[in-house]
Amino acid sequence: MMLKPELFRSKKVVLTAVGLALIAGTTFAQSASNEPIQWDKRRLEQLERTVRRVDRALNQASAAGEPFILQTDPEVVALQGRVATLDRRLDDLEATLQRVNGDVERLTFLVDETGRDNAALRSRLTDAERRLKAIEDVARAEAELNAPITSNSPTGDAAQDLAAAVRLAGNDAARGGRALETVVVTWPDTPQAREANLRLGDLRTAASDHAGAVQAYAAALSGWPRTAWAAETTLKLATALEVLNRDTQSCGALGEFTRRYAEGATPALRARAAQIKTRAGCS
């Protein structure tokens, strides 16, 4: 039977569409699985059966003058269903990832904020510890400086105790003064105790404690020793008394200087004695 040209063209178009659909389905399945299609004997036979079925349906439809309805291949339908399912799952995954990203951003912000808070707390804690240590150090120093002076010899030797106290006084006047007082208490009536009193007088003069200096110089000069430092110490005593407006006692100390030490004193010491005598108004 001869097919009309219009029917032939329609059949050709339909066959072309079928071929394209099969090729497209095959290609889509390949891209979805990322694996090349293996054209084995089974697949080729299946394709051939599909083509023959389409051809018979077209011939029957042409003979009966009825429109041809192409039934989609079950494998294509199944593949389309799987693709739709994968699309939905991908959409769900994308939504989940967006939520996770939002949670990560919030957590990152919280972590950064917590880090800043921790740094601020560490700084405050460090500052508090530093201030507390300073307070403890002051309290410890106050307790040490206000404790009673008792007999104590770190070295067991008066000369070594004095030398250690002098070195300490050069770095810490307060603690050095206590060390010198300890030498006086531990080694009374010794040359080291006299020198310790002399150095105590110098420390108190430097601190403008002239009354304390008078006591220390007077203790150092008890009995008017014939030592190398006795003459200058007498002038220091006279000066401290003059500063305290105790001019009569200052003049008395200058008199002792003249009687006991002036003859062997240096010209500088004698000139200094004359200046003090003038300031105190001694006759």
Q: Contact 244/210 with Cβ under 8 angstroms?
A: yes
pLDDT (0 to 100) of residue 11: 45
Find where tokens 């079928």 sit. Answer: 18
Mean pLDDT is lowest, of 38-42, 113-117, 219-223, 230-234, for 38-42
For the ranges 4-18, 29-43, 52-66, 190-204, the maximum mean pLDDT occurs at 190-204
pLDDT category at 36 given cuts 50, 70, 90 is: low
Among candidates 56, 53, 58, 55, which has minimal Cα distance to 69? Answer: 58
Domain spans in the chain, listed from the N-terminal domain onward: 5-34+41-71, 158-280
pLDDT category at 145 given cuts 50, 70, 90 is: low
Of residues 29 and 160, the one with the higher pLDDT is 160
pLDDT higher than 90, residue 283: no
CA distance 50 to 75: 12
Task: Indicate the average pLDDT of the chain.
Answer: 82
Residue-wise pLDDT for 201-225, tens only, equals 999 999 999 999 999 999 999 999 9
Name the phi and psi angles at 156, rounded to 5.
85, 10
Third-level CATH fold of 158-280: 1.25.40
Assign residue 74 a region (left: φ > 0; alpha: ψ between -120 and 50; beta: otherwise). Answer: alpha
Among candidates 116, 94, 114, 118, which has minimal Cα distance to 106? Answer: 114
DSSP letters along 157-178, please? -HHHHHHHHHHHHHH-HHHHHH
CA distance 70 to 60: 13
Name the phi and psi angles at 267, rounded to 5.
-55, -35
Pull the structure tokens for residue 261: 């030490």
Q: Contact 47/22 with Cβ under 8 angstroms?
A: yes
Mean pLDDT is lowest, of 68-77, 195-204, 212-221, for 68-77
Which residue intervals of the chain are DSSP H helices?
5-33, 41-64, 74-146, 158-171, 173-186, 191-206, 210-220, 230-243, 247-256, 267-280
Residue-wise pLDDT for 237-255, tens only, equals 999 999 999 999 999 999 9
